[in-house]
C-alpha cells in the first residue's frame, strides 16, 4: 500500500432498510489532499462522510485510518473533525467557548486554550468576535466559527458537509478561495461534500463523482471534465451534448448523419458508443461550410456568451457562442477532432444530453434540494 494514504475505504456497503445507500464503495484518500465528493441529492456522498466520521456504521467493508482499521472506533476517538451543513454551533455558548469546546475536553490549560482560540479566530478573520453570541452572527460568520471550532482540535482530516450551501453566491465564492487557502496553509486533508460541480472543479485536487451509492468516476477536475466516463458524469459536470454514435474504426466516429475525425481508439468496429461534445467547443459557421447543419430554436443571452439551441435531425444541441444568432436561421457546425469525446455505453446512455426539454428553472430546483 502506498505510504501517504491516510484514509482507505474498502468495499463499504450501507443500507437503511430496503434502500442501499452505499454500494461497494472503495476509495483511498491521500494525506494533505483536497478531495471532493460530488453528486446529486441522495447519491450517498454525505453518508460516505458520515462513515468516515463514525456516525454511520457500514454494514460491511473496512474503514482504514493511517493503516489501522477504525470501524469500531466511536466518533469522539477519531482524529477527524466535521463541519456540518448548518454549522451545528452550540447556541448556549459564545464564540470563544464554541471554539474552545474540543480543547476543554482535552483538558488543555487556560493559557493554551486562549492562545489557540485567538490563533483560530485570526485564521478565519474573526478577531474580536470571541465574546459574541452565536445568534448575533451572520451566516458567513457562523460558517467561520464552525471552521475555527473544527480546526482548533488539530485534526488530521477535516470533513466538510456542504459547508457553503447556505451562503449567498458572492460569499460562497469568497469562502471557496479562503477554504482552499486554509487547506494549503495548514497542510491537512480536506474531504469536501457538495452537489455544486463548479465548486468541486475549482477547489479540488481530486473529484469523486457519485450517483446512486456508486462511485462513477475518480479523477482530477480536468480528467472529470474532459474525459467523463459515462453519460451521467458528462451531464452532471458542466453542459454537454451526448449523442448516440457508432465507431467506424479507430479515430473515426459516425453520429448525427456525418462521420467525424476524433482522437479516440480502442473500440470495436461498429461498436455503439456515447459521444460527448461540450457546447463551448462547437464552432458556428454557415450551413454550406458546416459538417452538419440545423435550425436555431432558441437563443439566450448569458453575459459571457449566447446559449443557442439548434435542432439537427431531431436532436437539440446546445452551443455556447459569443456571436448572436437568430431563431429560425439555418446554421452549420464545425467540430474539431479534439472536441469529441467517445464513451462506452452505460446504464446512463440515452438518459441525458438532449436539450429538447431544457429549462434553467428545473435544473435550479433540483439543485436546491438538500441531502438529508
Tally of helices (H runs) and strands (E runs) in the chain: 9, 20
Q: How far apart are the C-alpha atoms of 310 and 294, rounded to whole Å?
A: 6
CB of 74 to another protein, least distance (A): 7
Q: How far apart are the C-alpha atoms of 370 and 143, rounded to whole Å?
A: 17
Question: Which position among 46, 47, 48, 81 is part of the footprint of another protein (CB under 8 A)?
Answer: 81
CB of 194 to another protein, least distance (A): 18
Tell me whether residue 29 or residue 49 sits nearer to another protein (CB atom).
49
Find the helix or strand (DSSP H, E) in which 283 lies: strand 283-285
CB 39 within 8 A of CB 366: no
Find the helix or strand (DSSP H, E) in which 9 lies: strand 5-16
Question: Which position among 46, 47, 48, 82 is part of the footprint of another protein (CB under 8 A)?
Answer: 82
DSSP-derived secondary structure letter, 343: E
CB of 118 to another protein, least distance (A): 18
CB of 69 to another protein, least distance (A): 20
CB of 89 to another protein, least distance (A): 8
Tell me whether residue 106 or residue 313 sits nearer to another protein (CB atom).
106
Tell me whether residue 156 or residue 173 sits nearer to another protein (CB atom).
156
DSSP state string for 177-200 = HHHHHHHHHHT-EEEEEES-HHHH
As a whole number of Å, the end-to-end CA separation of the chain is: 34
CB of 4 to another protein, least distance (A): 25
Q: How far apart are the C-alpha atoms of 121 and 99, rounded to whole Å?
A: 9
Tell me the per-residue interface mask from 168 to 187 with another protein, x by CB under 8 A, - otherwise. Answer: --------------------
Cell numbers standing for residue 26: 472503495
> Where does the chain have alpha helices with state H?
45-53, 95-105, 110-123, 139-151, 169-186, 197-203, 221-226, 231-236, 360-368
Question: Which position among 16, 90, 177, 365 is part of the footprint of another protein (CB under 8 A)?
Answer: 90
Question: Which position among 2, 3, 19, 74 is part of the footprint of another protein (CB under 8 A)?
Answer: 74
Cell numbers standing for residue 93: 455558548
Within positions 95 to 114, which residues make up the interface with another protein, using CB under 8 A? 101-102, 105-106
Tell me whether residue 36 or residue 85 sits nearer to another protein (CB atom).
85
Tell me whether residue 12 or residue 134 sits nearer to another protein (CB atom).
134
Tell me whether residue 84 or residue 358 sits nearer to another protein (CB atom).
84
- By the rule CB under 8 A, 130 interacts with another protein: no
Q: How far apart are the C-alpha atoms of 165 and 347, rounded to whole Å?
A: 30
CB of 143 to another protein, least distance (A): 14
State the number of binding residues for another protein (CB under 8 A). 25
Within positions 140 to 169, which residues make up the interface with another protein, using CB under 8 A? 149-150, 153
Tell me whether residue 79 or residue 295 sits nearer to another protein (CB atom).
79
Find the helix or strand (DSSP H, E) in which 330 lies: strand 330-334
Among the residue ranges 78-86, 198-206, 216-224, 241-249, the one whose residues contact another protein (CB under 8 A): 78-86
What b/e readout covers 274-284, taking b as 16+ CB neighbours within 10 angstroms? bbbbbbebbeb
- By the rule CB under 8 A, 91 interacts with another protein: yes
Q: How far apart are the C-alpha atoms of 203 and 194, rounded to whole Å?
A: 11
Tell me the per-residue interface mask from 27 to 66 with another protein, x by CB under 8 A, - otherwise. Answer: --------------------------xxx-----------
Residues that bind another protein (CB under 8 A): 53-55, 74-77, 80-82, 84-86, 88-92, 101-102, 105-106, 149-150, 153
Amino acid at each position: 500500500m502506498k505510504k501517504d494514504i491516510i484514509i482507505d475505504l474498502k468495499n463499504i456497503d450501507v443500507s437503511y432498510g430496503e434502500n442501499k445507500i452505499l454500494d461497494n464503495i472503495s476509495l483511498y484518500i491521500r494525506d494533505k489532499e483536497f478531495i471532493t465528493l460530488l453528486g446529486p441529492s441522495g447519491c450517498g456522498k454525505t453518508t460516505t462522510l458520515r462513515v468516515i466520521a463514525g456516525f454511520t456504521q457500514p454494514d460491511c467493508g473496512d474503514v482504514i485510518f493511517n493503516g489501522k482499521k477504525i470501524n469500531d472506533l466511536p466518533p469522539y476517538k477519531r482524529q477527524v473533525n466535521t463541519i456540518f451543513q448548518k454549522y451545528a454551533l452550540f447556541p448556549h455558548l459564545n464564540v470563544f467557548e464554541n471554539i474552545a469546546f474540543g480543547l476543554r475536553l482535552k483538558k488543555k490549560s487556560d493559557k493554551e486554550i486562549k492562545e489557540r482560540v485567538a490563533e483560530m479566530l485570526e485564521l478565519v478573520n474573526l478577531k474580536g468576535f470571541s465574546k459574541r453570541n452565536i445568534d448575533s452572527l451572520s451566516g458567513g460568520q457562523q460558517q467561520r466559527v464552525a471552521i475555527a471550532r473544527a480546526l482548533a482540535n488539530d485534526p488530521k482530516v477535516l470533513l466538510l458537509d456542504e459547508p457553503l450551501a447556505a451562503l449567498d453566491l458572492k460569499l460562497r465564492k469568497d469562502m471557496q478561495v479562503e477554504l482552499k487557502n486554509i487547506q494549503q496553509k495548514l497542510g491537512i486533508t480536506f474531504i469536501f461534500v457538495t452537489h455544486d460541480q463548479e465548486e468541486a472543479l475549482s477547489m479540488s485536487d481530486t473529484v469523486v463523482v457519485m450517483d446512486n451509492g456508486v462511485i462513477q468516476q475518480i479523477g482530477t477536475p480536468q480528467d472529470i471534465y474532459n474525459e467523463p466516463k459515462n453519460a451521467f458524469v458528462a451531464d452532471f459536470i458542466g453542459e454537454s451534448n451526448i449523442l448516440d454514435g457508432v465507431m467506424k474504426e479507430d479515430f473515426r466516429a459516425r453520429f448525427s448523419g456525418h462521420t467525424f475525425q476524433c482522437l479516440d481508439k480502442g473500440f470495436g468496429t461498429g461498436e455503439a458508443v456515447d459521444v460527448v461534445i461540450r457546447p463551448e467547443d462547437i464552432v458556428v459557421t454557415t450551413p454550406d461550410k458546416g459538417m452538419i447543419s440545423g435550425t436555431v430554436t432558441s437563443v439566450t443571452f448569458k453575459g459571457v456568451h449566447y446559449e443557442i439551441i439548434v435542432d439537427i435531425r431531431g436532436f437539440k444541441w446546445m452551443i455556447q457562442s459569443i456571436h448572436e444568432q437568430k431563431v429560425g436561421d439555418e446554421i452549420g457546425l464545425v467540430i474539431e477532432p479534439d472536441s469529441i469525446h467517445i464513451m462506452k455505453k452505460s446504464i446512463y446512455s440515452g438518459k441525458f444530453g438532449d436539450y429538447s426539454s431544457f429549462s434553467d428553472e428545473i435544473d435550479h430546483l433540483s439543485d436546491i434540494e438538500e441531502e438529508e
